[in-house]
Amino acid sequence: MQDTHVGLAHGNGGRYMRELIQHIFVRHLGNPELDADADAVPVDCGAGDIMLTTDAFTVQPLEFPGGNIGSLAVHGIVNDLAVSGATPLYLTLAAIIEEGLAVAQLERIVAALGEAARRAAVRVVAGDTKVVRRGEAAGLYLSGCGVGVRARRQQLGMDTIRAGDALLVSGPVGDHGVAVLLAREEFGLMGQVESDCASVLPLTQALLAIPGLRFMRDPTRGGLATVLHEISRASGLGVELAQPAIPLRPAVQSVCEMLGYDPLYLACEGRVVAVVDADDAPRALQALRALPAGAQAALIGSTTTAHTRVVLSTALGGERCLEELEDDPLPRIC
Amino acid sequence: MQDTHVGLAHGNGGRYMRELIQHIFVRHLGNPELDADADAVPVDCGAGDIMLTTDAFTVQPLEFPGGNIGSLAVHGIVNDLAVSGATPLYLTLAAIIEEGLAVAQLERIVAALGEAARRAAVRVVAGDTKVVRRGEAAGLYLSGCGVGVRARRQQLGMDTIRAGDALLVSGPVGDHGVAVLLAREEFGLMGQVESDCASVLPLTQALLAIPGLRFMRDPTRGGLATVLHEISRASGLGVELAQPAIPLRPAVQSVCEMLGYDPLYLACEGRVVAVVDADDAPRALQALRALPAGAQAALIGSTTTAHTRVVLSTALGGERCLEELEDDPLPRIC
């Protein structure tokens, strides 16, 4: 491929588009199922429930410490399958490219996407590219679909949550949000925070072995607080959180204090929130902590019938109600 | 939902986003599998090969005679499965919405999407919405994935094409391209052409009953000429076309002559190109013509070992080589 920047002709269905697809996408994502000439491809899912999910990615900037929109897309989709109790198998990928995107940047992104897919043992089996004019996108949008298989009918779901269940988080919160924030360079702060962008499959597989597991979710857009609101709303229960127990990197805390963000509302891209029967909480915590990605896992609170809010007990003995997000604190984080 | 325009807060994972999803998407697309609260959903595909496809849609304007980006998205995905010999079952849908999009327009689009899905007997089982800032999209981009099932291992594929095979098209070409072109109102022409935007499943099902069927494709981006190039390149054969046999609406021909477009390169969104054994061509043509959508189906040419180009014989006895598309004649047509 000789062009250094993507042009509208790379989206026209003809020779330039074929070159772009072959030289960038097929080269980095090639696998037996990915047939760039097919309209649809057969996939073998083996036994079990076939699980589907989809996600779009509009993060800005496209590259940030710890990842880029390509690795983020893989992890975002893989993680939605993983927290549903499934093993991710296949991805599809649609790219909306703005005219003028540097081919070298596109290639870095697709290479990271391919690498993340290989590590997560998923294969990109179908794709589509569209090119839009300058000013009609912000470089690149990715969206995709994930197909996984759930080996047995896992009775996971927010409807299984009961009062007194324990709430666990697998690691520090807000890393991704702060990493992206700093990468925007709007604040003149040097970034010392990397995104936590990663597959959570090892964590969810460890948790699936715990009989008292009720529900798992990855706290992406809207962060930990939003997942807890979803749990509260769906279960009709309140949530009580112990602020000192919530793992938080000092660098994330400092940036949030300086800029006025609440880290509990900032996106993670490699964490799991799990609801487990209180009796199984120690085992679940142990299972998470046995993994490198779960070394800082913590029991952060519990569900209650005492109220229907999400209430945070602070280190100083105060209480603060975590409201549902209204304005977007940080657009285009994922 | 009280807001009349989409704002960034509708993309933040919180209350506004929940309202947008409930009031627009779930209301129009609701079905037993679509659980707006789930990260991934189980789908039952029955027996057969599971087929996957994906597509992104960036058509401009968002609404045009005969359809809108919502119905186009359903038909585009359904048709990729249909031409692969599959029965479409499920769709996933990701929407990238520009801040400021009128909620009423979004609702018209999602309603058309829901109606097209019901008619094609597919269910939207998963979705995602992102909102980007003004100037970072052109109203709305949709992308999605389709899951279908291929009841028996249909030996369809460009690798089965032989010299002397017949080329069929199911109806007039270029309608979608011209309808979108006129809807842009850049040319001061009144639009009397509707997009052919429709599911081709009835057509492909009829063709699947023909034993000599080799390959099917819907001629979207790049039009009929691009599909014929793909066939020529993959089979190593030449293609001979009889221009007078190619169905073309007079209105499409007039607009193309006025504006200097070649209709053979303009997108269709409800047509099928089929390659069949020459002996089965009459039966295939009869099967297509028995359907309302195939009333104007035609035998338009054949494959040959005489050369490896796509050659058009004109009504006046001349010959013209159809080159592979390089510049994009008409960006953002789908």
Q: What is the pLDDT of residue B18?
A: 75
Closest CA to B155 of B211, B97, B199: B211
Closest CA to B222 of B75, B325, B80, B72: B325
Residues in chain A: 334
**Cα separation, A118 vs B184, whole angstroms:** 43
Q: What is the pLDDT of residue B263?
A: 95
Asked if the Cβ–Cβ distance from A12 to B331 is below 8 Å, we say: yes
- Best A2, A6, A45, A130 residue to mutate vs chain B (most B CBs within 10 Å): A130
Q: Is residue A182 part of a domain?
A: yes
What is the DSSP annotation of A51-89?
A: EEEEEEE--SSSEETTEEHHHHHHHHHHHHHHHTTPEEE
Q: Is residue B193 part of a domain?
A: yes
Q: What is the pLDDT of residue A1?
A: 72
Looking up residue A48, the CATH number of its domain turns out to be 3.30.1330.10
CB A236 within 8 A of CB A163: no
Its ipTM equals: 0.89
Residue A311 φ/ψ, nearest 5 degrees: -115, 130
The total domain count for chain A is: 2
Cα B317 to Cα A92, B242, B257, distances in angstroms: 46, 10, 20
Host H or E run for residue A113: helix A103-119
B-chain residues within 8 Å CB-CB of A274?
none
A-chain residues within 8 Å CB-CB of B52?
40-43, 90, 92, 125-126, 145, 147
- Best B25, B128, B150, B220 residue to mutate vs chain A (most A CBs within 10 Å): B128
The bridge status of strand A67-68 relative to strand B63-64 is: unpaired
Residues A191 and A312 in one domain: yes
Q: Is residue A2 part of a domain?
A: no
> Around Cβ A27, how many Cβ atoms within 10 Å?
14
Q: What is the pLDDT of residue B51?
A: 87
3-state secondary structure B234-277: HHCCEEEEEHHHCCCCHHHHHHHHHHCCCHHHCCCCCCCEEEEC
Q: Is residue A274 part of a domain?
A: yes
Closest CA to A272 of A180, A207, A175: A207
Cα B221 to Cα A39, B265, B329, distances in angstroms: 13, 8, 10
**Cα separation, A300 vs B22, whole angstroms:** 30
Residues B135 and B266 in one domain: no
CB A221 within 8 A of CB A228: no
**Min Cα separation A317/chain B (Å):** 28
**Cα separation, B278 vs B213, whole angstroms:** 10
CB pairs A-B closer than 8 Å: 251
Put simply, the chain A residues between 12 and 51 with a CB less than 8 A from any chain B CB are 12-16, 37-45, 49-51
Cβ neighbours of residue B276 closer than 8 Å, sequence gap 6 or more: B165, B166, B168, B207, B210, B212, B213, B214, B284
Q: Strand, coil or helix: what is A71? A: helix
Residues B167 and B313 in one domain: yes
B229, B231, B236, B242 alpha-carbon torsion, rounded to 10°: -70
What is the DSSP annotation of A294-312?
A: GTT-EEEEEEESS-SSEEE
Residues A60 and A26 in one domain: yes
Q: Is residue A1 part of a domain?
A: no
Domain boundary among A100, A126, A150: A150
Domain boundary among A150, A170, A202: A150
Q: Strand, coil or helix: what is B201? A: helix
Put simply, the chain B residues between 202 and 261 with a CB less than 8 A from any chain A CB are 217-218, 220-223, 226, 229-230, 234
Residues A143 and A163 in one domain: no
Looking up residue A283, the CATH number of its domain turns out to be 3.90.650.10
CA angle B43, B46, B48 (to 5 degrees): 120
> Residues of A71-83 as b/e, b for ≥16 C-beta within 10 angstroms?
bbbbbbbbbbbbb
Asked if the Cβ–Cβ distance from B52 to A43 is below 8 Å, we say: yes
Residues B227 and B106 in one domain: no
Q: What is the pLDDT of residue A239?
A: 98
CB A197 within 8 A of CB A71: yes
Domain that residue A58 falls in: 8-150
Put simply, the chain B residues between 100 and 159 with a CB less than 8 A from any chain A CB are 125-133, 135-138, 141, 143-148, 150, 157-158
Residues A50 and A186 in one domain: no
**Cα separation, A106 vs A70, whole angstroms:** 9
Residues A172 and A90 in one domain: no
Q: What is the pLDDT of residue A326?
A: 77
Residues B266 and B285 in one domain: yes
Q: Strand, coil or helix: what is A91? A: strand
Domain boundary among B91, B122, B150: B150
- Tell the residue number behind the tokens 């588009």, with chain if given: A17
Residues B162 and B134 in one domain: no
The bridge status of strand B123-132 relative to strand B87-98 is: parallel
CB A325 within 8 A of CB B11: no
CB A258 within 8 A of CB A216: no
Q: Is residue A333 part of a domain?
A: no
B134-155 confidence digits (pLDDT tens): 899 999 999 999 999 987 656 6
Residues of chain A with pLDDT under 70: 12-13, 30, 33-38, 152-155, 190-191, 328-329
Residues of chain B with pLDDT under 70: 12-13, 30, 33-38, 152-155, 190-191, 328-329
CB B193 within 8 A of CB B256: no
Q: Is residue B3 part of a domain?
A: no
Closest CA to B316 of B238, B224, B243, B241: B243
Residues in chain B: 334
Q: Is residue A197 part of a domain?
A: yes
B242-293 confidence digits (pLDDT tens): 999 999 999 999 999 988 899 999 999 999 999 999 999 999 999 999 999 9
Strand partners, B274: B168, B216
Encoded tokens for A274: 């799990």
Encoded tokens for B176: 């979608």
